[in-house]
Structure 1
Amino acid sequence: MKRLIMGTVFTFAGIAHFLKPEKFAKITPAFIPFKTFIAYFTGVLELVFGVLLLTGRIKNWQLSSMQKFLWAVFPANIYMYTHQEKLGLDHLPKWGLLARLPLQKVMTDMLEDIKR
């Protein structure tokens, strides 16, 4: 069940990167160059991860790569929280952006459970 949940999350997140690349480019921290490329690239990775999880064709090294990916994109979540007004995210509750931060750990743990 966790595999299907994570596969669905990755798939929808990957699709969202292609539907609204400018939103994902905007939340990329300022020190990272090529923001639009990064938005598309992370979208491709998320789609690949989603398909691997949904089809069950997954190896432990791929799950470990997904975990590393989640921590690699974690700065974008912090950036959203710390630069909410600058990013035009005033319509989102501050507590909601803060609540997203621990989700990286939850998702990483779910992937760890899939390894077993």
Structure 2
Amino acid sequence: MERSTIKSGARILLGAGLVFAGISHLTNARKEFRAQVPNWVPLKKDDTVIYSGVAEIALGTALAIAPSKYRYLTGRIAALFFAAVFPGNIAQYTHHRNAFGLDTDKKRFVRLFFQPLLVLWSLKSTDKSKQA
């Protein structure tokens, strides 16, 4: 399989995952996502979940369908988004908040290592080498 096909598939899959997560923010998983909002965020937890859900839907859609000339920028914005929400994962761990089946400190700790992978995924699937 050609590298550009793999990159396109990875980019579209990441975009679809973001859209799914964003819809979940607005519907069935709002309570779960509130567990990840750090106490220092100056908005109501539910408002933060809603705003981040809308952002995820927009970002995921852009990743999946952006014309090739915008993919590099979109990937960098996605990477920044994943970095920006990382404190929520840390808050879930440090405040011992159960959500998404992460009901032990060990599971919450292991989850922390997946966020950098999302950053890397967004960067590698949108880098400028052999874009589709």
TM above 0.5, yes or no, is yes
Cα distance, 1:101 vs structure 2 = 0.9
Q: Which structure's CA Rg is the greater one?
A: 2
Alignment-derived partner of residue 92 in structure 2: 80
Unaligned runs of 5+ in 2: 1-8
Alignment-derived partner of residue 37 in structure 2: 28
Structure 1 Cα separation of the partners of residues 31 and 88 of structure 2 = 14
- In the superposition, the TM-score normalised over structure 1's length comes to 0.84
Structure 1 Cα separation of the partners of residues 106 and 17 of structure 2 = 21
Alignment-derived partner of residue 46 in structure 1: 56
Runs ≥4 in structure 1, deviation > 6 angstroms? none
How many residue pairs get aligned? The number is 114
- In the superposition, the TM-score normalised over structure 2's length comes to 0.75
Deviations for 1:49-101, whole angstroms, at most 9, x for unmatched residues?
111222244432221111111111000001111111xx355972322211111
Structure 1 Cα separation of the partners of residues 31 and 104 of structure 2 = 21
Q: CA RMSD in A?
A: 2.0
Identity %: 25
